[in-house]
């Protein structure tokens, strides 16, 4: 599995970074994108997923250019917040198979098997007949993650995937996402939960001061530099950030 981002500039009216992003992931990986609020993490992920047009640059998966026509079968994304929809949960989940169902958009037995497997894996059977607007933010977030898993793309982007989840479900989702690497996928997600993920990921991507760079999860000095402030310190013994 390979993902290559080449000469990518992103933003709404002008580039958010000083230089284009050039980076390559050469194998299945679990990657976190970090940075302070407003740094451009969400815009970056939306651009990578095709939700926003890139100002320049290309994305390649396994040396094949990702085109708008094929992107939904190659890349899926989970955004923060409930979708503005009156659909029931089972209808939203079925949409995950849309890139593969053909012109008539009819689910086959294989599609139903994938949906059933993910529903059981995330234990959301009780939500299937509920309207997406009638469930909690945490439940809705889990549903949208389920839809991405049902889409079954080789690359998955997630923007703050555990924002609305309690501690138990946060741990469950992080564990699930990490396990997808073993299935040959590349998982890239933004997060502020540095204490949860710093020792679990393969790479850390950073957006800071209009610059994009990557650091190793073991490079604690650079992680401290990114997040430390007068209200937050890094405990060297526990390897975690703490309030002061």
CATH code, 53: 3.40.50.300
Residue 142 included in any domain:
no
- Which tokens in the block code for residue 64? 């094949």
Number of domains in the chain: 1
Q: How far apart are the C-alpha atoms of 103 and 116, rounded to whole Å?
A: 23
For residue 69, give its domain range. 3-82+153-243
Residue 94 included in any domain:
no
Q: How far apart are the C-alpha atoms of 99 and 18, rounded to whole Å?
A: 35
Query: What's the confidence (pLDDT) of residue 231?
Result: 64
Q: Which residues of the chain have pLDDT under 50?
A: none
- Closest alpha carbon to 117 in 146, 159, 89: 146
Q: How far apart are the C-alpha atoms of 213 and 169, rounded to whole Å?
A: 30
Residue 77 included in any domain:
yes
Query: What's the confidence (pLDDT) of residue 58?
Result: 96
Query: What's the confidence (pLDDT) of residue 219?
Result: 79
pLDDT digits (tens, 9 = 90+) for 173-208: 888 899 999 999 999 999 887 777 777 899 999 999
Residue 41 included in any domain:
yes
- Closest alpha carbon to 205 in 164, 163, 157: 157
Q: How far apart are the C-alpha atoms of 210 and 16, rounded to whole Å?
A: 6
Which residues lie closer than 8 Å to 220 by C-beta, 6 or more apart? Answer: 234, 236, 239
Query: What is the DSSP secondary-structure string of 196-240?
Result: HHTTT-SEEEEEETTEEEEE-TT-HHHHHHHH-BTTEEEETTTTE
Q: What is the dihedral of CA 184, 70, 44, 95, to 10 degrees?
A: -80
Query: What's the confidence (pLDDT) of residue 230?
Result: 63
Residue 214 included in any domain:
yes
Residue 141 included in any domain:
no
């Amino acid at each position: 599995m390979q993902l290559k981002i080449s000469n990518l500039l992103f933003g709404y009216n002008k580039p958010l970074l000083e230089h284009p992003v050039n980076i390559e992931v050469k194998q299945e990986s679990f990657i976190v994108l970090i940075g302070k609020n407003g740094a451009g993490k969400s815009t970056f992920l939306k651009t990578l997923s095709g939700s926003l047009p890139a100002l320049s640059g290309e994305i390649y998966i396994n040396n094949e250019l990702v085109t708008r026509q094929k992107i939904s079968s190659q890349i899926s994304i989970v955004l923060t917040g409930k979708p503005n929809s009156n659909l029931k949960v089972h209808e939203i989940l079925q949409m995950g198979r849309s890139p593969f169902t053909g012109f008539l958009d009819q689910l086959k037995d294989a599609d139903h098997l994938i949906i059933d497997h993910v529903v059981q894996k995330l234990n959301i059977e009780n939500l299937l007949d509920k309207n997406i607007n009638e469930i909690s933010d945490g439940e809705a977030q889990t549903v949208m993650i389920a839809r991405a898993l049902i889409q079954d793309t080789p690359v998955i982007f997630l923007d703050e995937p555990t924002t609305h989840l309690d501690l138990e479900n946060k741990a469950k989702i992080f564990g699930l996402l990490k396990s997808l690497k073993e299935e040959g996928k590349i998982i890239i997600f933004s997060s502020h939960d540095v204490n949860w993920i710093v020792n679990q990921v393969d790479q850390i991507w950073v957006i800071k001061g209009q610059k994009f760079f990557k650091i190793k999860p073991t490079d604690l000095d650079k992680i401290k530099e990114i997040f430390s402030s007068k209200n937050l310190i890094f405990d060297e013994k526990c390897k975690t950030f703490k309030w002061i």
